[in-house]
């Protein structure tokens, strides 16, 4: 499940991971809906062959079209064509540095969303990656599902609509009056719960990992050791999903959460 260049974990992890995904579609309907995102083009700029192979295999399995560039120069050439829907750029590359590629591409007004990968975990480095024009940042080693979830999130970035009312199935969120209701049942939310629900409703049907939620909803840069996100999510779920209602907030075991309209 975890990609780690230094160890042989990749080899062992990949088939298991694959197994879960092949069989997991029915049980975990939340994880990606390939139909919608299929044929999205991903440009992967990564110099480590093993890591790249694993990522490519995983993405291809999920129906993405993947192009792989192994050096900074090759990557920059491909990125400048600008026909990818999302780019995954390693921070440290031979030839041209990953951040330089992003800066050049942004200067040429190519708005393709970029996920920066790095073995450097420094908070500073993360900030630098985002400042250079990256849209998200992931530290190695990472869980492959975390990578997929983030790529899907980048591909389905909520449009900048000015709607003051969010709707997912029977769930309604009024951003002006700060109220929520499910059907006719009003839901009483604390401010932090409101923020969480808003974030999830804007990204319905997407897998939201704990790290993503923690970074985006709470905007904290560290990952707490306790099951903080789970507890907060538990609260929200008890309010959103009544005992006699069909659940809308689903947890994906070990990975994160998905909000979807009841079938």
Work out whether 124 is an interface residue with other proteins (CB under 8 A).
yes
**Closest by CA position to 183, among listed 173, 172, 191:** 172
Q: Which tokens sit at 4?
A: 């780690």
> From the CB of residue 111, how many other CB atoms can be counted at a distance below 10 Å?
10
Q: Is the peptide bond before 141 cis (omega within 30 degrees of 0)?
A: yes
Q: Which stretch binds other proteins (CB under 8 A): 16-24, 46-54, 171-179, 243-251?
A: 16-24
Shortest distance, position 188 Cβ to other proteins, whole Å = 15
Work out whether 238 is an interface residue with other proteins (CB under 8 A).
no
Task: Tell me, residue by residue from 178 to 217, as one string, x for binding to other proteins by CB under 8 A and - for no binding.
Answer: --------------x-------------------------
**Closest by CA position to 43, among listed 203, 155, 121:** 155
Out of 223, 242, 245, 246, point to the residue binding other proteins (CB under 8 A): 223
Q: Which is nearer to other proteins, 109 or 253 (CB)?
A: 253
Cβ contact 77:90 at 8 Å: no
Shortest distance, position 34 Cβ to other proteins, whole Å = 21
Work out whether 2 is an interface residue with other proteins (CB under 8 A).
yes
> From the CB of residue 232, how many other CB atoms can be counted at a distance below 10 Å?
18
Shortest distance, position 214 Cβ to other proteins, whole Å = 10
Strands (E), 55-98: 65-69, 86-90
From CA 75, how far away is CA 98, in angstroms rounded?
Answer: 9
Work out whether 232 is an interface residue with other proteins (CB under 8 A).
yes
From CA 170, how far away is CA 45, in angstroms rounded?
Answer: 42
* Positions in the binding site for other proteins (CB under 8 A): 1-2, 9, 16, 19-20, 23, 121-124, 139, 141, 143, 192, 218, 220-228, 231-232, 234-235, 253-254
């Amino acid at each position: 499940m975890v990609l780690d260049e230094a160890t042989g974990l990749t080899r062992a992890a990949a088939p298991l991971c694959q197994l879960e995904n092949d069989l997991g579609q029915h049980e975990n309907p939340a994880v990606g809906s390939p139909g919608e995102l299929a044929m999205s083009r991903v440009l992967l700029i990564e110099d480590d062959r093993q890591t790249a192979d694993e990522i490519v295999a995983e993405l291809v399995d999920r129906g993405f079209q993947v192009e792989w560039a192994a050096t900074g120069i090759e990557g920059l050439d491909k990125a400048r064509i600008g026909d990818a829907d999302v780019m995954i750029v390693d921070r440290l590359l031979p030839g041209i540095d990953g951040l330089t590629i992003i800066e050049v591409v942004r200067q040429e007004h190519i708005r393709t969303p970029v996920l920066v990968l790095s073995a450097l975990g420094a908070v500073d480095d993360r900030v630098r990656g985002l400042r250079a024009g990256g849209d998200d940042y992931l530290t190695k080693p990472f869980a492959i599902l975390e990578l997929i979830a983030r790529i899907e999130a980048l591909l389905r970035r909520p449009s900048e609509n000015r709607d003051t009312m969010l709707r997912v199935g029977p769930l309604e969120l009024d951003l002006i009056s700060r109220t929520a209701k499910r059907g006719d049942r009003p839901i009483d939310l604390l401010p932090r719960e409101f923020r969480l629900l808003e974030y999830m409703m804007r990204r319905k049907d997407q897998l939201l990992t704990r790290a993503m939620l923690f970074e985006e909803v709470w905007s904290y840069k560290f990952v707490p050791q306790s099951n903080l996100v789970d507890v907060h999510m538990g609260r929200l779920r008890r309010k959103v999903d009544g005992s006699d209602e069909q659940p809308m907030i689903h947890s994906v075991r070990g990975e994160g959460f998905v909000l979807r309209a009841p079938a």
